[in-house]
Amino acid sequence: MEQARGRITAIHDDHVTVEVDTASFCSRCSTGRGCGAGLLGADRGPRQVDVPLPRDALFNPGDEVTLELAPHSLLQAARIVYGMPLVAVAAVGALAMLAGWSDGMTLIMMLSAVVVAIGIGRKRLQRSNCLQQFTPMIFERTGTAQ
């Protein structure tokens, strides 16, 4: 499981804000050979992430931490991001075969299905319960503020 490293920029009552350089934590992303998850609205460079504050943990602004997403959450996110468009294309392809659509009509409908599935996936991931499920947690402190 890839872990992101970041620096705490702010401390709030129940969470901390961590600045993570999205391009540097994943070696595949930094070389342009990522999985494609960043194509849908993610930008390169620093990003602010609000992370729940672990119980009985004392942090200071400037502390360096390692963030991790739970493996089951990562699998669920992959189902939404990759599985929904794949199922949509397969369903439209099967429908096209049964209905006897032309190749051009099938292509247009399959592309439309992918766009709709991606839109639904993005909306689903933006809901508050999804955002809470897919929020990384602090795995460990790697450095202290100086």
Convert the pLDDT of each residue in 24-49 to its tens digit. Answer: 556 666 566 656 555 554 555 678 88
Q: Mean pLDDT in the chain? A: 82
Confidence category of residue 2, pLDDT binned at 50, 70, 90: low
| pTM (2 d.p.) | 0.60
Mean pLDDT of 77-91: 93
Give me the pLDDT at residue 90, please.
96
Query: What is the DSSP track for the chain?
Result: ---EEEEEEEE-SSEEEEEEEHHHH-HHHHTT---SGGGSS--SSEEEEEEEPPTT----TT-EEEEE--HHHHHHHHIIIIIHHHHHHHHHHHHHHHHT--HHHHHHHHHHHHHHHHHHHHHHHHSHHHHHHT--EEEEEEE---
